[in-house]
Chain A
Amino acid sequence: MTVSPTRPAASADLACDCLGGQIDDLRKELEHARAQVERQEMAIVELRAKLEDSQERQNKLQDQLHSVEGENQRLGERFHLLEDQVTKISYLFAASRQLLESPDPSTMISAITEIVINSIGSEEFALYVLDDASAELRQIAAMGPQAHRWKALKPGEDPLGCLLTRGEMALTEPGETEQPAAFVPLRHEGRLAGALVVFRLLPHKMAFRPVDRELFELLGTHAARALCPARLHEKGTAAKACP
């Protein structure tokens, strides 16, 4: 039996063809995979760009949010400030108008009493005018037991007289001292004409507000101007008791 010499060659060719086909297939697959990798890489680049973009937008939005939060806080603070201003101006406006428009001393004393009770929140207080003959301050309106104990103030005598001698407005916080809550000299043309003494604030009023000092200053100026005729009018009459 003879063996054809061409047989192994043919077999090798066949194997080569087969391998060549496999290589072609692998090459195609490789090309395909490479194309896919390129596409994925492009997608990754795009996504990275989008991510960077969205991070940039997020940072911008966060900056905007902080800015809006800050602005909101500033507006809130401004709003409370304005609200306090409206409160203050309303009280000062009403008090000024009542004091300036009171046609007679009696109405004036009622106006002062209303302001001291309702706008300042006093539970016990007294209003005094200077008695020229005795140089004492004589009570013309009073509310509360403490107020009724001090019918007159003599300069230099007792704690109230000392405050009178000092001649300055004095405010103390409730419970701070034995002093009255407020002592307000009433001046007319630079001279002492009377005094307003607040012995006690209403129980729910814990402390004076900034507007209270301004109301006292207003009373210290305008009440005195009105109480000069009041002093003349009321001279010789008993102190007026408030309801």
Chain B
Amino acid sequence: MDRKKVLLVDDSNTVLLVERTMFDDGRFRIVTAKNGKEAIETAAREHPDIIFMDVVMPIMDGLEACRALRARPETRPIPIVMVTTRGAPQDVEAGFAAGCDAYIAKPFNHAELMDKLGRYLGLEHP
């Protein structure tokens, strides 16, 4: 079975663990990063099929990382979903201006994550 590779980016271990648990149905290979800089390095090395990324992070935030990923030819086509506590319209606009494909507000639920996977990876909801 061709398992899709998902890059999860968040400085919170709790959030990474929640996401890992929700994705743990045998269809995905999970790689993680703790900030925007690590996300860029990991994406260039691992070529994930999709990225779920927090906005507020130390060292490099999610918006800057998103712009950098879009600027690189090898990471440009990867769908990026911002996952953040910042749900105000101006924050959502800033996310799309940085080049993200979709936006999920924390605290998210399983259906929201699966919906994005279905939309960007063409996966059936299990």
A114 touches B106 (CB 8 A): no
Please determine whether A119 and B107 come into contact, CB atoms closer than 8 angstroms. yes
Q: How many A-B residue pairs have CB under 8 A?
A: 68
B21, B107, B109: residue with the most chain A Cβ atoms closer than 10 Å: B107
The interface stretch among A2-10, A41-49, A88-96 is A88-96
**CB-defined contacts of A73 to chain B, threshold 8 Å:** none
Cross-chain pairs A/B with CB under 8 angstroms, 16 sampled? A87-B22, A90-B22, A91-B18, A97-B17, A98-B13, A98-B17, A114-B13, A114-B14, A118-B14, A118-B15, A118-B106, A121-B106, A121-B107, A202-B105, A209-B107, A243-B56
* Cβ proximity bits A75-114 to B, threshold 8 Å, 1 near / 0 not: 0000000011011011101110110000000000001001
- With contacts A83-B110, A90-B110 taken as known, whether A119 is within 8 angstroms of B14 at the C-beta atoms is yes
- Assuming the A-B contacts A90-B21, A119-B18, are A83 and B109 also in contact, with contact meaning beta carbons closer than 8 angstroms in the complex? yes
CB–CB B14/A93 < 8 A: no
Instruction: Tell me the B99-124 residues at the A interface (CB within 8 Å).
Output: 105-107, 109-111, 114
The chain A residue sitting closest to B11, CB to CB, is A114
Within 8 Å CB of B88, what residues of A? Answer: 203-204
- What residues of chain B have their CB less than 8 Å away from a CB belonging to chain A? 12-15, 17-18, 21-22, 56, 85, 87-88, 105-107, 109-111, 114
Provide the residues of chain A in CB contact with B106, threshold 8 Å.
118, 121, 202
Are B85 and A86 interface neighbours, CB within 8 A?
Answer: no
Point out the residues of chain B lying under 8 angstroms from A86, CB to CB: 22, 110
Beyond A83-B110, A98-B17, A115-B14, 7 additional contacts (C-beta under 8 Å) are A83-B109, A83-B111, A83-B114, A118-B12, A118-B106, A119-B107, A204-B105
Q: How far is the CB of A124 from chain B (nearest CB, A)?
A: 12
Can you list the 8 inter-chain pairs with the closest CB atoms, starting with the nearest?
A204-B87, A94-B17, A90-B21, A114-B14, A87-B109, A94-B18, A86-B110, A114-B12
